[in-house]
Structure 1
C-alpha cells in the first residue's frame, strides 16, 4: 500500500469568508492548489459550503502574491531583507511616538486576521506603545451590534446560538439578505421551515432573494427599523404580552424606554405611517411575533450600517427583553456577523473603544490588564474609531499607520478622501498577501508579506461564539510570515522583547485564554480559562468549542434566560432610542437614496473571490439596481448605463431595472475597486456620517442622483495576460479560465482598436472589419489556441461573450471554429450556456432554461438533472424565477397509423 505524502493529506480548517465559520476539508493537489469540501463534523455547517467556500481551491495560487518585504526608495518599492524592513518600521514608529506622542501612531486591522494576530497587535499598541488607536474594518460591519449589546447587556454578548435557528417557530430577518450573505445558515433555517413549519418574516427596503418565498415581507422605508420595533414594543405593553416577571426580576429602564417608544410609534397606525407600511402588514407582524413564543430576530448590515444603527439594535433587544425571549432554545436576538473573525477581534479588544478579553476603558479594567501584561504605558482612554482615524490622518494628527489585511481605500466611506489622507502619512505600512490593491496603490512606504488562508494557523470565532482552528495546509511561500510574528519582531525592536517572545500561535492563544480568566470569577462573559493549559498538540487538535469555557464548567452555556447580565446591578437595560431621523435629506439635486451591499458570489473587494472564474460569472459587472418607475422618470434603460452622483463622488454602472428595488432608492454592490473596474468604486460615493455610539458609518442612505450615460460601442477582450486597455474606456476585468476577460463600453472612434491590438498581440492577427457598421473583431492564435481576441460592436452586437469565452478556454480551436469565431455566430456545438446561475457547479442560465423547457418544473427536478441548487442553495430563488418565466416546449403530437381519428 502506497503511503500518502503528508503534504497532501486532508486538513480540517475553517472558511475565511463570512461569520458563519464553516468547517472545511482541504486537500492539497501537489500543484499549488487544493480540493475543497465541507467538513461534515463541524457544527456550523455539517458539511455544507456556499459558492464562495466551494471555490476556495481556485483562490490559493501565488499569482499576484506579495512574497518579499519591500521599502519605497525614491518613489519605487524595492525588495529588502526582513531585518531591514522591521528595523525601519520600528525606528520610524519610535521616532514619531517620541516626537508627537503615542496617539500619533495607529493600527487599522481586519476581521480576516486570526485571533492570535489580533491579540498581539492590541497588546503591542494598547499595552506598550501606549495608544488605543487600534481599530478594524469590523467597525464597518458589526460595531453597532457591539454597542447595542453593551448598552443592554453590559457586555458584547451574543445570547443565542445556531441551534436556535433549528428550534425557532418564527424567524425574523431585519436588514439581512441571508440567502446570499449567509447561505449555509439560511439553508439550515429553510430546513426548519420544511420539517417543522417555522415561519419567516423579512424586513428590508429591498425585496432580496431572502424574501423570495416568505410568510410576510415588510418593505419598510429606509431608516425606519427603530420605529417598527418601537411600535412592536408598545403593542406588547398594550396587548398584555409582556413577561412581567422577567422584566421585574432581571431588567431596568423599562418605563423610560416605553415612554420613548410611544413617542416614536404608539400604535399600529402610527407605526404604519412612520415606516411606510400598510396597517394590515404591521398588525400581522405584531400578531405573529406576539403569539409565537419561539422567535429569533436575525439582524445584519441593514441594521448595523446606519447612523442610527445602535438604536435600531436596542429597539430589537427591547422587544426580546420585554417578552423574556432571550437565551432560550429557539428564542433570542441574533447578530449575523459579516467577517470570519470579527468576533475573535472583539474578544481581544480589536475595536478602539475596548480593551482585551471584553474589558473596557474603566479604571479597574485598565489596571487589571496592565498588571496581567506587565504593561509599562497602557492606554488609559479610548482610541479613534475608523472614520475618525482617517479624518485625524488627513488633519496631520496621526502620522504613522499600519494597515493589516484590509483595503480601506475601497471599503471606507468617502473613499477618495481616504486615498488622499493616506498620502499625508510620514510612515505608512501595509501587511498584505497581494502585490496590488487600491490601498497598496496609495503608496505605502513599507510592504510586508503576510501569510494567506491555507498557509497561516491559529483560531477564529464565528457568530455563535464558537472558536475553531484555521490550520495551514500549504507551505509558506517566498518570505511570507504570520502577522503575529511580524508584530512580535517589531515589538522586540521597540524594546519590548520579553513580553513578545512567542514561539507559536499556541503560545499566544494560551496567554489570551489566561487573560480571559484573570480575576474573572464569572463577572465577565468572555472566559476561556479552561483552555489556558492546552499543550501544543492539544491546540493543534482543538475541536470547535463555544465560549464560555470556564474552568470546571461545561462549555457553551446560554446567556440571560434567567438574567445574570454583566451590568453593574446584574440587570439587563431597556434603552430608550432616539426618534429616528436620517442624517442627510434628499432634494431636487439628489432625489434618491443610495444603498450599498454585497452580492451572492463575491467578498469584500474581491482580493480572493476575484481569482475564481466561477464566482465572477454570475454578475460579472458592477451595476445599479433601479425601480421601473424611477427608471422611467430619469430615462434609464435596463441593460444600459447610468451615472450615479453623490456629494462625494460618481460611478458609471450597468443598469438593472427591477421591481424588487424600492421606489426612490438605488442599490449598488460594494465589491469593485480600481483594480478590477474603471468606474465601479461605490465607496467613493458613500457619505461618512457615523452612529454616535458605535462609530459605524451610514452605508445605506446616501442622497444620490442618477442619469443615463450613453455609449456608442460595447465589446469584450480575452487574453492570456492582463491587458492595459486604451484610455477613456468603461471596463470591468473578469477572471476566466486560462486568462483574463474584459467587458467594456466605448465612445471613441472605432479605428483606434486595430493599432492597440497590434501592440498587444503582435502582427499575426485575424480580423473582421465593418467600420461602417460599427463592428471590429480580431483574434490572435498561438498554435491551435486563442491567445488574444477582441470584439467591438454597436450596442448589443459585439458578439456572444459566453460562446467566445468557451472557445478561448479550449485547448484546441478547429479551422471551422476559427472561421465561425470572427463571424460572431455560435457555430455547431457552441451554443451559449449563458451567464452562470449556479456558481457551485458552474451551471449557466441557458442550460437551465433548456432543462425547464424540456419539462423540469421544480427546483428539485432541475437539481436532479443539472445539480444546480443542490449545494448551498443560494441560486434557488433565481431558479424559481426562471421556472416562472420559461415556457415548456409543446409536446409534438404523433399520429399513429390506423388509430381512430
Structure 2
C-alpha cells in the first residue's frame, strides 16, 4: 500500500485546526493533528480525530440526479444534462420574472474560492443580491457588532491571547464542546497560572463552567442588561481607562446616561443573579491587567444579538482592553469558513472585501473590477426573508449549496412548506441523506473534505491552504468547479458574445482574483497566495503585498477603521427576548451543542463512534420540573411551541434552572421525528437579521404511547437507514441512532398509541432480515407483542421487539458482547415480558472518552478504586488525547469527594 500524508485543515468548527490526512491516493485511511499548524499544534477534538471514519460512501451523493416534475422520483443523469437543465430553468425564470426571482443559499463550510464564484455568479451575472449564507444563522450579529463598534468586521485577537490574558470572560458559549481545542489551550494556561480569572456567563452549568472561578447563570436573553450593569459599576468605581476613552472613542456620554439606570439591584433581579456575583465580575473585569472576552451563539442567536455584541465590546472600550496581548473582544466562529464567507461578501448585504451592497461607491468599485456595467441596487434577502419569499412564490428557483435548511432553519414546518412550494430547487451537496435532499429537483454531487483544494479563514483571521488528498468518489466535483461550469453556461444565455466572467480552471485563480478586491481594505489579503501559504504556513490578515508575516492583533495604535478613526460606544437598551414564559408556554427552551456531534449530523451522523457519549435526543429538565410534571427519566413528552411539536424523551439535569429546558440542536427529522427546529422561532434581530434560535417558549404535554418498538441491525447502516426510516413515519415517536464501534449498527426506538398494521411490522422485519433464516421468534397477537432475534455464528445481528421493550438494554448488551446464550432462548420462547436477571449495564453506561473508548462505568470503577485524574489517565488512557472528557471526569471525581462550590 502506497501510504501518503497530506496536510490540510479540519472541516468542522472555526478553530481551523491543521490535520494530516493519511491516505493511499484513493482512500483516506487516518487523520492526526498537524504539529506545525499554529491553530492547534497537533491537537484535535473527538470530532476532528474521527474524520476518517465519517463520510460513508453509502451516504454520499455520487452522480447528478434530476426530477422532471413535482411528485416524481429523481433519476440519474449526466453533468451536461443536469447543468443544461438548470441553465434553462434559471435563464427562463430570470427572463420572465426578473433576476430577483432566483436566489442562492450557501454555506460557511464552503471554501473561499467557492464563495467567490457564487458571489460573482449572483451579483455580476444574474444581477441579484439574493445570495445569503447559513452564517446568517450563527455569525451575522457578531458582524454587526464589530462593524458598529469598531468600524470593520475584524476580530482583533489571536489564539495566543487565551494564554496571555489575566481575566477571560466566556459568554454564551459552551467552549468545552463547541471549540474544544481552544478550551484545552485555555485550560492549560489556567493550570500554569492559577491566578488567571475565568468568568463564564451561561444560563446552563456546562462543562465549560468547570474551569470557571465565577459562573453567572443569568436568565436567558438578559445579556445586554448584565453588560450595562457591569459598565455601571466600572464607571462608579472608576475602573475605566479615561485616557483611552478620550483619545480613541466616541459616544460614551449617551451610553453613561443609559447605564445610569442599570443599578446593581435592578440588574441582579433582572438577570437572576446575586449583587455579589455582579460586583465580583465587574471588579475582575475592571482591575485585571488584561481582559479578554470570548463568545459564540449564546450572544449571536437572538433578536437582540447585535445589541449584545456591542454591549460586550463597550466593556473593552471603557477599560482600554483592546489591541494588546491578552485583551480584546473575540468572537468564536461556528463554521470552518464563515469568516471567508464574510470576506467574499457572502451575506445578502455584503460585497467582497468587507464592502456593503447598499453603498453606491462600493458597488461601483466591484462592478468596475469585474467589468460589468453595474451591480444590483435592490437589497438582497437574508435567510429568513429568503424562505418567506420562497413560500409566497416570489422566489421561483433556489440554488442551495453545502447546507441543510430543512434541518437548520427555525420554524421547520414553514421552511419545508417553502421548499415544497418552490418550482425548482437545486441542491449542491456531498451527502444525499440530508433532510433537504428530499426537496431537491436537481441534486449535484459535490466533493467533500479531503477531496478538494482551496482556502479557509479561521476565527483569528488565519488563512490556511486546504489541500486535496484523494479523488472525489463517483462523479462528485469541487463546489467552485460546479459553480463556474453553471455560470459559463448561463452567461451564454444572459451575456451572449461577451467575454466570459468565469475563465477559471483552478481554485488558485479564483483566490488571486478575489484578493485584489481587498487591497487597501482593512482585511488586505493582497500579499497572500496558495503558494505563499505553502512556503510560510497559515497567515493572519491583514497581509498586504510584500509582507512576510501576518498581523496577530489589530488596533494596537488605537486607530479604528471608522470615518474619524475612533471606536464607538453603542447605547442600545435591554430588550427582552421575543417569547417570554407565560401561562400557556411556561418553559424557556434553550438549544446548544453536543460534544461529539456537529450541526445537522450529515457527516458526524455517519460514524457510530460519535454516538457513544450521547446516543439519542433527550430534553434536559431540572429535577424540580421533573417532579412538577411527574416525569421519570426516559419518559416521553410532547414538547410544544407556538409553531409545532415534537415527541422526545426527558432526562433529569440540575445544570438547567427550573423553568428552563435544554435540547441539543443537532437532531433533525432524520434522527428525531419532526426535529428540534420544528419548535424554534424565525423572529430575528432587526440589524443582523439573525434568528433567535436559542430562546423559545414551550410547554410539556403528557403522551400515552403504550405500544413500543425497539430494533437493531448491524451491517450497512446507511442502507438500513434509507429503508427503515420511511417505514417509521407511521409512528408517533421515532428516534434513530448508530451504536457500536467495531460492528456499527442502526438502532431504532419508536412508540405509538396502538399496535400498527401487521403488514407494516412485516415490512420492517423484512428490512431487518428477520423473516427467515436463523431467527428466533415469539409472537403474542392477543397482546400485540412480538420478539425476533437473528443469530449468526453465535452472535446477535438483528433484534426487533414490538409491543413492549423491557428487554431492549439486556439484548443490546448481549449484541455488544457478541454472544447469544441459553438465557436468551429461554426468555424469547417463554410467554414472559421481562428479561432474565437485571438489566444490562448498557442501560446506564455510555462512552465517556471517545478517543480511547473508555466507558462511564470503567471511569466510575477506577474512581471507586481510589484513582485520581492522573491515575485514571495512566490506567485507562481517558483524557490523554483530545481531553474533551476531562471536565466530566473531574465532576465525577468531585462528586465522589465533595461538591466544589463556586461563587
Correspondence 1:493 to 2:502: no
Equivalent of residue 746 in structure 2, options 734, 740, 743? 740
1:701–1:828 Cα change, 3 Å: closer
Comparing 91-100 with 345-354, greater Cα deviation is found at: 91-100
1:616–1:822 Cα change, 3 Å: farther
Correspondence 1:601 to 2:596: yes
Matched with 1:896 is none
Correspondence 1:453 to 2:449: yes
Matched with 1:551 is 545
What is the CA-CA distance between 1:330 and the residue it aligns to?
0.3
**Secondary structure, aligned partner of 2:39:** coil
Q: Is the 8 A contact 1:154 1:567 kept in 2?
A: yes
Matched with 1:850 is 861
**Secondary structure, aligned partner of 2:67:** strand
Q: Is the 8 A contact 2:105 2:131 kept in 1?
A: yes
Equivalent of residue 780 in structure 1, options 767, 781, 790? 790
Q: Distance in 1 between matches of 2:130 and 2:480?
A: 18
1:103–1:821 Cα change, 3 Å: farther
Equivalent of residue 800 in structure 1, options 792, 810, 825? 810
Matched with 1:897 is none
Equivalent of residue 883 in structure 1, options 882, 890, 893? 893
Equivalent of residue 428 in structure 1, options 425, 428, 434? 425
Matched with 1:111 is 108
1:420–1:120 Cα change, 3 Å: same
Equivalent of residue 247 in structure 1, options 233, 245, 263? 245
**Secondary structure, aligned partner of 1:97:** helix
Q: Distance in 2 between matches of 1:579 and 1:539?
A: 44
Q: Distance in 2 between matches of 1:135 and 1:560?
A: 29
Comparing 119-128 with 758-767, greater Cα deviation is found at: 758-767
**Secondary structure, aligned partner of 2:163:** helix
Q: Is the 8 A contact 1:718 1:805 kept in 2?
A: no
Q: Distance in 2 between matches of 1:166 and 1:374?
A: 47
1:815–1:659 Cα change, 3 Å: closer
Deviations 1:858-880 (A, max 9, x none): 22221211111222222122223
Q: Distance in 2 between matches of 1:829 and 1:851?
A: 20
Q: Is the 8 A contact 1:820 1:827 kept in 2?
A: no
Equivalent of residue 863 in structure 1, options 868, 873, 882? 873
Deviations 1:267-298 (A, max 9, x none): 22222122121111111111111111211111
Q: Is the 8 A contact 1:803 1:826 kept in 2?
A: no
Matched with 1:297 is 293
1:799–1:154 Cα change, 3 Å: closer
**Secondary structure, aligned partner of 2:350:** coil
Correspondence 1:220 to 2:231: no
1:631–1:345 Cα change, 3 Å: same
Matched with 2:832 is none
Q: Distance in 2 between matches of 1:732 and 1:22?
A: 32
Equivalent of residue 74 in structure 2, options 65, 77, 91? 77
Q: Distance in 2 between matches of 1:747 and 1:213?
A: 45
1:665–1:754 Cα change, 3 Å: closer
Correspondence 1:512 to 2:514: yes
Deviations 1:60-98 (A, max 9, x none): 331121111111024121111211111111221111112
1:252–1:53 Cα change, 3 Å: same
What is the CA-CA distance between 1:133 and the residue it aligns to?
0.8
1:29–1:624 Cα change, 3 Å: farther
What is the CA-CA distance between 1:815 and the residue it aligns to?
6.3
Q: Distance in 1 between matches of 2:666 and 2:490?
A: 37
1:212–1:715 Cα change, 3 Å: farther
Q: Is the 8 A contact 2:450 2:468 kept in 1?
A: yes
Matched with 1:126 is 123
Deviations 1:787-840 (A, max 9, x none): 422245756543326513414xx5xx5766975895946999998892111122
Deviations 1:298-346 (A, max 9, x none): 1111100000000000000011011110121001111011101111111
1:820–1:316 Cα change, 3 Å: farther
Q: Kindly report which structure 2 residues correspond to 1:32-181, keeping only aligned pairs within 5 A, or say none.
A: 32-74=27-69, 75-181=72-178
**Secondary structure, aligned partner of 2:355:** coil
Deviations 1:481-505 (A, max 9, x none): 1111111111111226622111111
1:287–1:830 Cα change, 3 Å: closer
Deviations 1:600-624 (A, max 9, x none): 1111111000111111121111111
What is the CA-CA distance between 1:538 and the residue it aligns to?
4.9
Q: Distance in 2 between matches of 1:774 and 1:865?
A: 48
What is the CA-CA distance between 1:759 and the residue it aligns to?
3.1
What is the CA-CA distance between 1:708 and the residue it aligns to?
3.1
**CA RMSD for the aligned pairs?**
2.5
Q: Distance in 2 between matches of 1:757 and 1:499?
A: 53
Comparing 87-96 with 162-171, greater Cα deviation is found at: 87-96
**Secondary structure, aligned partner of 1:10:** strand
**Secondary structure, aligned partner of 1:707:** strand
1:480–1:826 Cα change, 3 Å: farther
Q: Distance in 2 between matches of 1:848 and 1:38?
A: 26
Equivalent of residue 799 in structure 2, options 789, 793, 799? 789
Matched with 2:667 is 672
1:766–1:709 Cα change, 3 Å: same
Comparing 26-35 with 149-158, greater Cα deviation is found at: 26-35
What is the CA-CA distance between 1:409 and the residue it aligns to?
1.0
Give the TM-score normalised by the residue count of structure 2.
0.92
Q: Distance in 1 between matches of 2:212 and 2:370?
A: 51
Q: Kindly report which structure 2 residues correspond to 1:521-560, keeping only aligned pairs within 5 A, or say none.
A: 524-531=521-528, 534=529, 538=532, 543-553=537-547, 554-560=549-555
Q: Distance in 2 between matches of 1:200 and 1:841?
A: 29
Q: Is the 8 A contact 2:200 2:215 kept in 1?
A: yes
Equivalent of residue 845 in structure 2, options 834, 840, 859? 834
Comparing 81-90 with 370-379, greater Cα deviation is found at: 370-379
**Secondary structure, aligned partner of 2:169:** strand
What is the CA-CA distance between 1:749 and the residue it aligns to?
3.7
Equivalent of residue 403 in structure 1, options 369, 384, 400? 400
1:868–1:714 Cα change, 3 Å: farther
- What 5-or-longer segments of structure 1 have no aligned partner? 889-901
Equivalent of residue 179 in structure 2, options 159, 182, 188? 182
Q: Distance in 1 between matches of 2:568 and 2:543?
A: 26
1:834–1:820 Cα change, 3 Å: farther
Comparing 737-746 with 547-556, greater Cα deviation is found at: 737-746
Comparing 110-119 with 62-71, greater Cα deviation is found at: 62-71
Q: Distance in 1 between matches of 2:199 and 2:885?
A: 20
Q: Distance in 2 between matches of 1:887 and 1:822?
A: 43
**Secondary structure, aligned partner of 1:186:** helix
Q: Distance in 1 between matches of 2:839 and 2:387?
A: 57
Matched with 1:308 is 304
Q: Distance in 2 between matches of 1:401 and 1:48?
A: 39
Matched with 2:354 is 358
Correspondence 1:712 to 2:709: no
Q: Is the 8 A contact 2:542 2:550 kept in 1?
A: yes
Q: Is the 8 A contact 1:129 1:377 kept in 2?
A: no
Q: Distance in 2 between matches of 1:797 and 1:484?
A: 51
Matched with 2:21 is 26
Correspondence 1:483 to 2:479: yes
**Secondary structure, aligned partner of 1:732:** strand
Q: Distance in 2 between matches of 1:113 and 1:829?
A: 44
What is the CA-CA distance between 1:209 and the residue it aligns to?
1.1
**Secondary structure, aligned partner of 1:606:** coil
Q: Distance in 1 between matches of 2:419 and 2:756?
A: 39
What is the CA-CA distance between 1:707 and the residue it aligns to?
2.4
Q: Distance in 2 between matches of 1:256 and 1:365?
A: 31
Q: Distance in 1 between matches of 2:757 and 2:435?
A: 32
1:830–1:324 Cα change, 3 Å: closer
